[in-house]
Amino acid sequence: MKVLILGGVAGGATTATRLRRLNENAQIIIFERGPYVSFANCGLPYYIGNVIKEKKNLLLQTPKSFKDRFNIDVRIKNEVIKIDREKKEVLVKNLEDGSEYIETYDKLVLSPGAEPINPFRELNSNKIATLRNVDDSVKIREYIEENNPKNVVIIGGGYIGVEMAENIKHYERINVTIIEKNSHLIPPLDRDVASIVHNKLRDKDIEIILNNGVKEIKESKNIFNIILDKGEVKADYIILSIGVRPETKIAKEAGIILNSKGSIIVDDNMKTNDKDIYALGDAIEIKNYITKMPDYIPLAGPANRQARIVANNICGIDSKYNGTMGSSILKLFDYNLAMTGLNEMTCKFQNIEYKKIIITPFSHATYYPGANEMIVKVIYSSKEKALLGAQVIGKDGVDKVCDILATAIRSKLSIYDLEDLELCYAPPFSSAKSVVNVVGNVIENELNGLVENVSWEDVEKIYNPYVLDVRTPKEYSFGCFDNAINIPVDELRENISKLDKENIIYVYCKTGVRSYIACRILMQNGFKVKNIMGGYSLYKQIKEDRLSIEIDD
């Protein structure tokens, strides 16, 4: 059996090595048009920021290591330029000498990846960069170190844009600005959680421009004038992080079926409309694991899993890819941000019934030094009693909490299963009642009618809401919701007569724990109450973000 693989890195390289482990006698050839067949794609921003010091640390495998260990023929700087499905052959161009040659195949694997979107190619400037491979990261780092730009503008505030902002900020004296046409950074986040990201970046003196697209870029005397929908920004150096598009021109020309956005359509076995051609990675349309609808989620983890499935199927082991949830994590200076599954925007757009909770627990037992507050937002279905998605942000334990919630979604655990999970505990690592257990407890309380939770956005939509702050007077003095009444939870019973039974009372504390206790006291005394999720901790973040946006405008 002869298998040709178009593209290396996560998808192609992993497919090749799995194939070899399954079939020692197969002839396996990888074609990679770049100089590196396997590199740490997700590490590129950290090389630019000099966190990863040496370029060699990004290189995972070489053509020689592939040959020595796996007997795989890797041909770097060789590009497949045409596929002839009828003859089962490809036309390859050697990019070093320009020569062309033909290779036949029994099975063909397409792993071409996705290319950065660049609507400003006509400027043809070495001071406008995109990031896709090792060479790109080397050029960006060299330019910054050799030219010391004063003002770097990043256009696009997704994962890469935010990671680039952090890493470029490691260089002293550089002003960094992120321009994002949408209302918040990191699109998979909801707007309330994104407020924390915005505030953290501003704390590090990174300017954020939101709700403002780029119309035009003009260059004059080595300075760029970036024309926005509203206003202008000047820059010495620009990094485009607008997004990516699947690089599937060669597949389209060969008659491989694509969707309207150019992604290759594959079945559950990763097979295209040609029974002998498979595709994977950032070039394909995937099925959303939760909604079961077509989606596009380019991530390294799914690409690696798809690679194993492709190799299995080529070797006669029936394997199916069940979809992508979008589990991901992002480092943000001393904070970590993780997410999985659906957010509110997706639920609304696809008319999915959902509810949400927001809790602000600590990463481990508070009596043990170093406990840090995190914010956990969970989207769930009250009808199915199941999780739909989660967003977690904090300094410690973020990956652990989000990974457990992602596993719960994947395993179709119910809300009640979360309460019953037995997870590792010692004071330096967790609390006896883990964050995940608390998520289950809070949702169960709501499902059983013990409390009704509302968001700050819900409260702000109400004309003159009747709001009760159950924090201490000292906490109240440092900031509160407008016109909130302050009665500490420990003094609530003896002051209960001061409250109006005719009104719905919206209750909050710092994190949501004391306000829940207050709600239970009041409900059992005949009051109509609602608990404000996330407490004042979240409200303060949202309010600070809004004020900053107003000042910027």
Q: How far apart (Å, rounded) are the C-alpha atoms in residues 537 and 513?
A: 12
| pLDDT digits 0-9 by tens, 435-446 | 999 999 999 999
Q: Indicate the Cα dihedral angle 281, 282, 288, 292, nearest 10°.
A: -70
Q: Residue 10 pLDDT > 90, yes or no? A: no
Decide if 550 is inside a domain.
no
> What Å distances lie between residue 497 and 283, 525, 527, CA to CA?
64, 10, 11
**According to the model, what pLDDT value does residue 123 have?**
85
Decide if 409 is inside a domain.
yes
**According to the model, what pLDDT value does residue 553 have?**
60
> What Å distances lie between residue 117 and 135, 243, 279, CA to CA?
17, 6, 21
* Same domain, yes or no: 404 and 478: no
DSSP states of 409-460: HHTT-BHHHHHH------TTT--SS-HHHHHHHHHHHHHTTS--EE-HHHHH
* Same domain, yes or no: 260 and 355: no
Q: How far apart (Å, rounded) are the C-alpha atoms in residues 299 and 241?
A: 15
* Same domain, yes or no: 336 and 440: yes
Give the closest residue to 288 by CA, choosing from 308, 307, 302.
Answer: 302
Q: How far apart (Å, rounded) are the C-alpha atoms in residues 151 and 233?
A: 10
* Same domain, yes or no: 249 and 238: no
**Angle 191-203/535-552 helices, nearest 10 degrees?**
70
Residue 339 DSSP SS3: strand
Q: Residue 537 pLDDT > 70, yes or no? A: yes
* Same domain, yes or no: 92 and 164: no
Q: Residue 207 pLDDT > 90, yes or no? A: yes
The DSSP H or E segment spanning 401 is helix 398-410
Mean pLDDT, the chain, rounded, equals: 94
Q: How confident is the model at residue 221 (pLDDT cuts 50, 70, 90)?
A: confident
Q: Given CA atoms 51, 54, 55, 56 in this order, what sign does their dihedral have?
A: negative
* Same domain, yes or no: 442 and 470: no
Contact in structure between 263 and 284 (CB atoms under 8 Å): yes
**According to the model, what pLDDT value does residue 98 have?**
95
From 456-460, 466-470, 526-530, the region with the lowest mean pLDDT: 456-460
> What Å distances lie between residue 193 and 199, 282, 405, 441, CA to CA?
11, 27, 17, 21
Q: Residue 552 pLDDT > 70, yes or no? A: no
| pLDDT digits 0-9 by tens, 223-263 | 999 999 999 999 999 999 998 999 999 999 999 999 999 99
- Catalytic, 42? Answer yes
Number of structural domains the chain divides into:
4
Q: How confident is the model at residue 8 (pLDDT cuts 50, 70, 90)?
A: confident
Q: What is the CATH number of the domain that holds 291?
A: 3.50.50.60
Decide if 48 is inside a domain.
no
Give the closest residue to 466 by CA, choosing from 497, 423, 430, 504.
Answer: 504
Q: How far apart (Å, rounded) are the C-alpha atoms in residues 311 and 304?
A: 11
Decide if 319 is inside a domain.
no
Helix residue ranges, H only, 122-245? 134-147, 159-168, 191-203
* Same domain, yes or no: 208 and 265: no
Q: What is the CATH number of the domain that holds 473?
A: 3.40.250.10
The pTM (predicted TM-score) of the whole model is: 0.93
Give the closest residue to 350 by CA, choosing from 410, 409, 283, 294.
Answer: 294
**According to the model, what pLDDT value does residue 16 have?**
96
Q: Catalytic pick from 42, 315, 347, 402?
A: 42
Phi, psi of 459 (to 5 degrees): -65, -40
Percent of the chain with pLDDT over 90: 91
Q: Residue 94 pLDDT > 80, yes or no? A: yes
How would you classify the pairing of strands 328-332 and 335-341?
antiparallel
Residues pairing with 225 in the sheet = 218, 234
**According to the model, what pLDDT value does residue 435 have?**
96
* Same domain, yes or no: 267 and 160: no
* Same domain, yes or no: 257 and 108: yes
| pLDDT digits 0-9 by tens, 364-375 | 999 999 999 999
**According to the model, what pLDDT value does residue 129 have?**
93
Place of tokens 């040959």: 67
Q: Which residue has the higher pLDDT, 551 or 85?
A: 85
The residue-averaged pLDDT of 388-402 equals 96
Decide if 540 is inside a domain.
no
- Looking at 385, 419, 447, the residue that finishes a domain is 447
* Same domain, yes or no: 387 and 335: yes
Q: Residue 549 pLDDT > 90, yes or no? A: no
Which structural domain, as residue segments, surrounds residue 306?
Answer: 2-39+57-113+245-314
**Angle 435-447/398-410 helices, nearest 10 degrees?**
50
Percent of the chain with pLDDT over 70: 99
- Looking at 447, 481, 500, the residue that finishes a domain is 447
* Same domain, yes or no: 75 and 146: no
Decide if 155 is inside a domain.
yes
The residue-averaged pLDDT of 515-543 equals 96
Contact in structure between 19 and 2 (CB atoms under 8 Å): no
Q: What is the token pair recorded at 145? A: 């170190």
**According to the model, what pLDDT value does residue 362 have?**
93
* Same domain, yes or no: 516 and 458: yes
Q: Residue 550 pLDDT > 80, yes or no? A: no
DSSP letter (8 states) at residue 163? H
The residue-averaged pLDDT of 265-293 equals 97
| pLDDT digits 0-9 by tens, 36-82 | 888 888 899 999 999 999 988 888 888 999 999 999 999 999 999 99
Q: Which residues of 95-119 are buried (b: 16+ CB within 10 A; e: fewer)?
A: eeeeeeeebebebbbbbbbbbbeee
The residue-averaged pLDDT of 200-210 equals 96
Helix residue ranges, H only, 186-320? 191-203, 249-253, 300-314
Residue 263 DSSP SS3: coil
Decide if 125 is inside a domain.
yes
Give the closest residue to 168 by CA, choosing from 129, 215, 119, 111.
Answer: 129
- Looking at 314, 340, 366, the residue that finishes a domain is 314
Residue 530 DSSP SS3: strand
How would you classify the pairing of strands 206-209 and 38-39?
unpaired
Decide if 51 is inside a domain.
no
Q: How confident is the model at residue 355 (pLDDT cuts 50, 70, 90)?
A: very high
Contact in structure between 194 and 185 (CB atoms under 8 Å): yes
